[in-house]
A and B are shown apart, each in its own frame.
Chain A
Amino acid sequence: MKSSYVSFTLNGEEKELLIEPGRRLVDVLREQCGATGTKNGCGQGSCGACTVHIDGVAMLSCLLPAELVDGSEIVTIEGVVRNRVLHVLQEAFLAQAATQCGFCTAGMIMAAKALLDCDPSPSRQAVIEALSGNVCRCTGYEPIIAAVLAAAATLAKRPAAAAAA
């Protein structure tokens, strides 16, 4: 099998890349696009560290052959900051001290953002379910859940911000 050209937008920027057959999206993002904020934790779809958005849906980039994302809009953690302004979720992770080693953080934020993008005021249970595919081995789950709920509360007070985010 030969390499093929694959086109997609990454954080709003158009990309056209020559990709070896079967190459995982996580490797293409990290090694060919320099988007190393997306982490490879297990390579088998069980830790969630590689979560990115494909056309607005949270997906595991370690399980996706990159050929499949041709024509898609991809957002990674690097695309969550807009005009150097942190997203409310990122601010909330800082305020709630929701990071420890940081290796799961990008995946957590991408999974949480996918939730808030479609459900801006989720219940605690909905947050837990949205993050259930993301593992934190420092086991700081409570501050992470608190951060997502705090971000939702901020969005509720700022409907304009919610629309812009």
Chain B
Amino acid sequence: MARILEDVFTAERAGSFQAIGRALPRIDAHSHVTGATRYYADRIFPNLLHAVMARSEHHHALIRHVDLSAAQAVKGVARILTHKDVPNNWYTILKLIGLGPDEEPVLAEDRVLYRGEPIVAILADTEAAAREAAAKVKVEYEELPAVLDVETAILPGTPAIKPHGSNVFVYEGRDHFHVHCGDTEAAFREADHIFEHSYQSSPIEHAPVETTGAIAVPEPGGRYTLHSNTQAAFFTLDNAALILGLPFRQLRVVGGTVGGGFGGKVDVIVEPIAVLGAMLTGRPVKYSFSRGEEMQVSSPRAAERIRIKDGVAADGRIIARDVRILVDAGAYSRHSPYGTIKAAAHMPGPYTVPNVTINAWCVYTNRTPSSAMRGFGVTIGDFALEVQMDRIARELGRDPFELRLQNAYRDGDLKAHRKTVEGAALVEVIQAAAERIGHPLSPECRAMSSCQRT
């Protein structure tokens, strides 16, 4: 009991650590309580232009014609940007590490794949003028059938919304990501109990109190300073430079002070438009989401559908686990193909199950593209797994702590991905949690260890 805590942390505390084990003030706390912290929007520039998008009114449509005349006539409008102004009109967040393909335009060209997709950017002297002009952009659409549900999206006969001809991300020639270990079907036949349940989640918006935004400022020598609340300054620098065809050295990103991010400020959406506006007008340009835009078009956590089928022996050992995962990427990839791999890699959870099958689909729908959020890819899977564990315990009349301890992975166990477990601590964590809340455990469970299987 608590052996790992003592072995590891007692030794560490005896060392010369300056911070571990002590309560220290945050370095930014003083400026937070006095209002002196400077977030990107606290940098005030004269002659600033405000960028506001005209956005798709449809989930899925072809764009037949865009009429900018009424928008251009609004007093204070300095410039309107369309896809033709964007040097490389592809936003592909993980391009530099070879993940593609290019499929999301920075500004829509001939079609829109989600409601709220940006079509043109208005640059105006005031935010009010920019919003008025954006509302006056007239877009002629030819509406197409929208696919809004992941289960429907993968059915044969459902229209393909993506140019590559299907509604799923293709992993090395396969329509989904697959992991298997052992013989799941044979183990289901041997199992004394089968438990099969489905779980689902909705998209979750981070809703930071500070909405996503950036200000691009032209500097001497053809350089641009980008004041941004990005959580990922180097993603921002490289993606903006690739989109704008600029050498990286011409962009300087000033960031790191974020008024709430939670993963929602990892994508690079506002910065390329702000810099492009600054390049084409020579003026500082601010592009900041309104609260409504933050809710509608900033990437949420992906909605997931998960079905878990478990084969359980009479003594409570889970001998087979088959998991089917559908991740709703929304209209474009962003981080979802990677998030789907994480979802598959996280199964079958921190339990040792000898026979495992995992099939995970990254599914496209005509919904707001989903992306990063706190542990994306694994959080919803953990919800599904742990509810499943509780259900098995309840239906077998087992203590939920003891069922987990019995199945918990130990050092030396082989995971479904052929990786040997090292440094496991789940047994000790469950024992400590039970002790803290006064939940009684049997002597056998109290004697268990992550270091060996008893």
Q: Do A and B share a complex?
A: yes
A residues near B (Cβ < 8 Å) are 30-31, 34-44, 46-47, 49, 76-78, 80-81, 86, 90, 93-94, 97, 99, 101-106, 109, 135-138
Shortest CB–CB separation between residue B266 and chain A, in angstroms?
15
Q: Can you give 11 A-B contacts (C-beta < 8 A)? A: A30-B42, A30-B44, A47-B291, A86-B33, A99-B26, A101-B208, A101-B258, A102-B28, A103-B208, A137-B206, A137-B209
With CB as the reference atom, state the residue of chain B lying closest to A104. B209
Other than the given A41-B291, A137-B209, 7 more pairs (CB < 8 A) read A39-B209, A49-B209, A49-B210, A77-B35, A81-B34, A101-B261, A103-B39
Q: Is the interface of A mostly helix, strand, loop or mixed?
A: loop
Residue pair A103, B44 in contact (C-beta under 8 Å): no
Within 8 Å CB of A77, what residues of B? 34-35
B273 to chain A, nearest CB (A): 20
Q: Name the distance in Å between B332's Cβ and chain A's nearest Cβ.
A: 25
Q: A105 — which chain B residues lie within 8 A by C-beta?
A: 32-33, 35
Instruction: Contacts A39-B209, A43-B291 given; indicate if A99 touches B260 (C-beta within 8 A).
Output: no
Question: Interface residue tally of chain B, by bracket?
Answer: 20 to 34
Residue of B nearest to A147 (CB): B33
Q: Give min CB distance, B87 to chain A, whole Å.
A: 32
Given A101-B259, A101-B260: A86 and B34 interface contact (C-beta under 8 Å):
yes
Residue B221 is within 8 A (CB to CB) of chain A in the complex:
no
A10 to chain B, nearest CB (A): 13
Please state if B29 and A99 are interface contacts (CB–CB under 8 Å).
yes
| Residue in B34, B41, B258 whose CB lies within 8 Å of A40 | B41
A95 to nearest B CB, angstroms?
Answer: 9
Residue-wise interface mask of B (191-226) relative to A, using a CB-CB cutoff of 8 A (1 in contact, 0 not): 000000000000000111111000000000000000
B206 neighbours in A (Cβ, 8 Å): 137
Q: Which of A39, A86, A94, A109 contacts B259 (CB 8 A)?
A: A39
Task: Collect the chain A residues with CB atoms within 8 Å of residue B208's CB.
Answer: 101, 103, 137
- Which B residue's beta carbon lies closest to that of A27? B127
Q: Digit string of B31-58 for contact with A (CB within 8 Å is 1, else 0)?
A: 1111111110110100000000000000
Q: How far is the CB of B204 from chain A (nearest CB, A)?
A: 12
What are the residues of chain B within 8 A of A136 when measuring CB–CB? Answer: 209
- Minimum distance in angstroms from A25 CB to a CB of chain B: 16
Residues A97 and B207 in contact, CB atoms below 8 Å apart: no
- Top 4 nearest A-B pairs (CB, nearest first) are A37-B35, A103-B259, A102-B32, A77-B35
**B379 smallest CB distance to A (angstroms):** 16
CB distance from A87 to the nearest CB of B (A): 9
Cα–Cα, bound, A106→B26 (Å): 16
Inter-chain contacts of A81 with B (CB < 8 A): 34
- A39 → chain B closest CB, angstroms: 7
CA distance A41 to B41 in the complex (A): 11
Which residues of A are found within 8 Å of B41, using beta-carbon distances? 36, 40
Residues of A within 8 A of B210 (CB): 39, 41, 49, 101, 103
**Interface check B262, CB cutoff 8 A:** yes
Q: Are B33 and A109 in contact (CB under 8 A)?
A: yes
Q: Pick from A49, A76, A94: contact of B33, CB below 8 A.
A: A94
Most buried by B among A35, A38, A138: A138
B209 and A47: CB pair below 8 A? yes
Closest CB-CB distance, B418 to chain A, in whole Å? 39
**CA of A145 to CA of B36, assembled, Å:** 22
Residues of A within 8 A of B258 (CB): 101
Q: Distance (Å) between the CB of A1 and the closest chain B CB?
A: 13
Interface centre among B34, B44, B208, B258 (most CB of A within 10 A): B34
Flag if A78 contacts B207 (CB, 8 Å).
no
Which chain B residues lie closer than 8 Å to A47 at the CB level? 209, 291
**Residues from chain A with Cβ under 8 Å of B260 in the complex:** 101, 103, 137-138
Q: How many Å lie between the Cα of A76 and that of B34 in the bound state? A: 10
Which residues of B sit under 8 angstroms from A86, Cβ to Cβ?
33-34
Measured between beta carbons, the chain B residues less than 8 angstroms from A93 are 29, 32-33
A29 to B25, CA, bound (A): 29
Chain B residues with CB under 8 Å of A80's CB are 34-35
Flag if B25 contacts A102 (CB, 8 Å). no
Task: Report the bound CA distance from A43 to B75 in whole Å.
Answer: 23
In the bound complex, do residue A137 and residue B33 qualify as a contact, i.e. CB atoms below 8 Å apart? no
B89 to chain A, nearest CB (A): 30
Assembled-state Cα–Cα distance A90/B26 (Å): 14
Least CB distance from B291 to A in Å reads 4
Q: If the complex has contacts A90-B34, A136-B209, A137-B208, are A97 and B42 also in contact, measured as CB distance less than 8 A?
A: no
By a CB distance below 8 angstroms, the chain B residues around A34 are 44
B291 contact from A36, A44, A78, Cβ within 8 A: A44
The residue of chain B having its C-beta at the shortest distance from the C-beta of A99 within the complex is B32
List the A side residues contacting B152 at CB < 8 Å: none
Chain B contacts for A35, CB-based, 8 A: 35
Q: Which residue of B lies closest to A76 (CB)?
A: B35
A101 to B209, CA, bound (A): 9
**A44 proximity list for chain B (CB < 8 A):** 291
Q: How far is the CB of B97 from chain A (nearest CB, A)?
A: 28
Max chain A Cβ within 10 angstroms of own Cβ: one of B29, B44, B211, B262: B29
